[in-house]
Chain A
């Protein structure tokens, strides 16, 4: 069973850098047709996709955060990381790491179906001095 677990500081000061790591167990981060993603959810709001990393090293970032975000992978540790610079109070949220899996079975044989099927438990990061 695939499991993801976020780790990192729960409190970050304004203007500093938020750094989180997602440890993946139960499968290799380099296997399958998967994107490894970061998603955040401000208190009382819907999820916001931050960015995703493919096994090839290709990354996609939310344009609203692109200038501040880096997602990287450490294959030796089977983990991937998020770095968000110059944080403000607006970056306070529960941060999730997730796998965007895919299938081409059944109806999805026509167009690949993709979905966030495995999520970490989430970690609250508060930006405050």
Chain B
């Protein structure tokens, strides 16, 4: 099983500032990496797939990068609706595995 590790656990950011989230895989997943965000009481929502491709309707302030074992999600200028928990997930192998999440909170 590929273990996904996210850091930091919590990120405190002011609105309008940049946020950088990290995700590390225990072995190479190439670019088979997805990012989601989740607000309380809701299902996760797809943001980025293929490590860097934004899903339909996702604003350009969200960008993903990386390959192999190291990945980054950057939110260029945080909006109020972006404060949520962010998860990475690999689809290189079965079982599909998720990280434990990074909570982006208002500073």
Chains A and B form a bound pair: yes
Query: Quick check: A63 and B49 within 8 Å, CB to CB?
Result: no
A57 at the interface (CB under 8 A from B): no
- Decide yes or no whether A113 CB sits under 8 A from chain B: yes
For A104-122 the 0/1 string (1 means CB < 8 A from B) is 0011100101111101111
B89 at the interface (CB under 8 A from A): yes
- Answer whether A107 and B50 are a contact pair too, CB < 8 Å, given A46-B99, A48-B98, A121-B43: yes
- Which residues B84-103 have CB closer than 8 A to chain A? 87, 89, 91, 94-101
Contact of A15 with B by CB under 8 A: no
20 contacts between A and B (CB under 8 A): A46-B98, A49-B95, A49-B96, A52-B96, A98-B43, A106-B53, A107-B53, A108-B50, A108-B53, A111-B30, A113-B49, A114-B49, A115-B46, A115-B49, A116-B34, A116-B46, A117-B55, A119-B43, A119-B45, A121-B42
A113-B50 CB under 8 A given contacts A46-B101, A47-B87, A96-B43: yes
Known contacts A46-B101, A119-B44; can you find 8 more A-B pairs with CB under 8 A? Answer: A45-B100, A60-B95, A111-B32, A113-B32, A113-B53, A114-B91, A115-B91, A116-B36
CA distance A120 to B42 in the complex (A): 9
B1 at the interface (CB under 8 A from A): yes
Interface size on B, residues (CB 8 A): 27
Main secondary structure of the interface of A (DSSP, over half): strand
B residues within 8 A CB of A47? 44, 87, 89, 98
- Complex-state Cα separation, A14 to B103, whole angstroms: 32
A residues at B contact (CB < 8 Å)? 37, 45-49, 52, 60-64, 96, 98, 100, 103, 106-108, 111, 113-117, 119-122
Inter-chain contact B91/A46, CB cutoff 8 Å: no
The 0/1 profile, CB within 8 Å of A marked 1, for residues 9-35 of chain B is: 000000000000000000000111010
Task: Give chain B residues whose Cβ lies under 8 Å from the Cβ of A106.
Answer: 53
B72: CB under 8 A from chain A? no
B87 to chain A, nearest CB (A): 6
Tell yes or no: B52 within 8 A of A by CB.
yes
10 tightest A-B CB contacts, nearest first: A119-B43, A49-B96, A115-B49, A113-B50, A62-B95, A114-B91, A46-B100, A47-B98, A60-B94, A115-B34
